[in-house]
A and B are shown apart, each in its own frame.
Chain A
């Protein structure tokens, strides 16, 4: 339960690492690479990245889920290609190349979604193409994928995508239940429930996110205190 860092385990002796790239992330297991995005470095709840889609599409669960899956697809795909070609992409044109790779996968995701789930594609409207502008994508390409082997970049993309998806699902579930009285379109409370329309609109998104962050901070504080007591 409590992950207390063991001295000597995390900081490996510098001679063992052949120092791939300056500023490369420390070596880690695939599990740790995946788990980082879901937990300690969650894009939405911890890093505050991708706030625009978080606010815009989390009014119902189906939209939040679709946005999360589309973003995961782009994260994994762009991570794979950025890492695969990291030795051939010259430093001077790296940002241009990363954006090109990201934009390609976003376009693919947009077309595939329109072909498979036209209703969700219509509901998400311009927010799927706008994944290009989500700083989470360029951030992971520049900070992680460009400096690690392919399998680590894919693991990180998958973890960050899963963390993003779970956060959007959490917010959109709360907003759909309160704002529409339904979950994935299925009615929960019957006709006598008066939906809290406020939750469907942008301010409802900010309120839900604020409450989610408050809850997270409270849990972290409790954990910290417990660790202090047991130590």
Chain B
């Protein structure tokens, strides 16, 4: 009798004593773990950053070389506000600036200018490096820097060399057609099954040249090289 009575007061016997961890201990655990994780991430970030930036630079260099048909050297121009300049204002982060690369051949003559442009493709941003001659509006070529077009169809704008090759020498503004008309210097044949991606490439090139050509001409008139 007394046993059961006491038992009722003692609470349910099955309840194992659930020990609560004090709040300061929880906070300390998370604070130490967070600090250690942050330290580790920063360490590895510092170690890997030079290599990552080097790869990015190499990718841009390779693209400039490809679209300007192997220039001997190139100058970099910076877009500041609404004007192009060879000398960025002091204190500006060169990495963040919009650039144009002016390529020269062995004789010192200008081959063309390479610029980066991005616009929506079939499903994602399509980023191109575009080479053209600002004085004539003739293209020297383009290279896809980044694309998420449909594999096997839209990605032919990057993979299919015969499509890419027809841009060299074409006069902007380009027009995409299914069948080429002989003697028209502005026509480009679109890829069967990838019409939208082909047209996106043409649109990006037309827009980029339309944007950069007056800027570069104004810069040339300024007389500074």
Contacts and interface: CB of A to CB of B under 8 A. Distances in A.
Provide the main secondary structure of the chain B interface. helix
B184 interface: no
A79 B47 CA distance: 24
Nearest to A197: B152
A142 B103 CA distance: 58
A93 B26 contact: yes
**Residue among A91, A96, A103, A115 facing the most chain B CB atoms (10 A cut-off):** A115
A201 B26 contact: no
A112 interface: yes
A108 B29 contact: no
Contacts of A166: none
Interface string B39-81: 0110011011001100110010000000000000000000000
Contacts, number: 66
Contact of A197 (B30, B37, B151): B151
B41 A88 contact: no
Given A103-B37, A104-B40, A200-B152, A93 B48 contact: no
Given A104-B40, A114-B48, A201 B33 contact: no
Contact of B52 (A85, A92, A93, A118): A118
B151 A100 contact: no
Nearest to A198: B152
B25 interface: yes
Contacts of A195: 152
Contacts of A93: 26, 29-30
A59 interface: yes
A90 B44 CA distance: 28
Interface in A161-188: 179-180
A211 interface: no
Nearest to B18: A91
Given A100-B33, A197-B151, A111 B48 contact: yes
A180 B47 CA distance: 36
Interface size class of A (residues with CB under 8 A): 20 to 34
B150 A97 contact: no
Contacts of B41: 104, 107-108
Nearest to B22: A90
Contacts of A97: 29-30, 33
Contacts of B153: 197
B52 A111 contact: yes
Contacts of B207: none
A101 B29 contact: no
Contact of B21 (A92, A100, A108): A92
Nearest to B151: A200
10 contacts: A59-B151, A93-B26, A93-B29, A100-B33, A100-B37, A104-B37, A115-B47, A115-B48, A122-B146, A180-B152
Interface of B: 21, 25-26, 29-30, 33-34, 37, 40-41, 44-45, 47-48, 51-52, 55-56, 59, 146, 150-153
